[in-house]
Amino acid sequence: MSNQRIKTPCVGLCSTVYGDLVCRGCKRFHHEVVNWNAYDECEKRSVWARLEVLLAQVVSAKLDVFDSNRLKEQLLLRKIRFNPDQSEYCWAYQLISRGARFIQQLDAYGIHVLPEFQGKPLTELRDAIDQEFFILSEAHYERYIAPSFLRERLDSGT
């Protein structure tokens, strides 16, 4: 990430206010949403890095970015926000999440849909990516975060 002030991953669809431990919008953990403004730059980068790894993992299993320069040009041309420091697979997700309804040919954007996902509408592919990204984020929370919170509560006697 660049030296600019680190922005929030929030996408304006927060579900942590309804009790979710992982936000269905940005995929951050509840405590990360609540404490974001108190985090230092290193903590914020760490959250962003985890989100990038999980999202790129999901997207790369469904799409192939064969021309990242073309993808970047198209994102800039269409004024779709993306983080140039992230993986091109995160860029591809931004393109699909913003343009699934109007994109006709992904090849024109430097992206191929992998054979097992060809023929599916982009809106369906976008929703599948989002759902799998959420599931991976929940699994990460359950595996790595929840046990430490449990230990902290047991140790403090609450």
HEC sequence for 47-91: HHHHHHHHHHHHHHCCEEECCHHHHHHHHHHCCCCCCCCCCHHHH
Asked if residue 5 has pLDDT above 80, the reply is: no
pLDDT digit string, tens, across residues 54-69: 999 999 999 999 999 9
Single out the residue of 123, 80, 75, 81 nearest to residue 101, CA to CA: 123
Global pTM reads: 0.87
132 pLDDT tier (thresholds 50, 70, 90): very high
Quick one: tokens of 34? 């609540």
**120-135: average pLDDT:** 96
Asked if residue 138 has pLDDT above 70, the reply is: yes
- What pLDDT is recorded for position 151? 56
pLDDT digit string, tens, across residues 12-65: 888 887 788 999 999 999 999 999 999 999 999 999 999 999 999 999 999 999
pLDDT digit string, tens, across residues 67-84: 999 999 999 999 999 999
- What pLDDT is recorded for position 1? 42
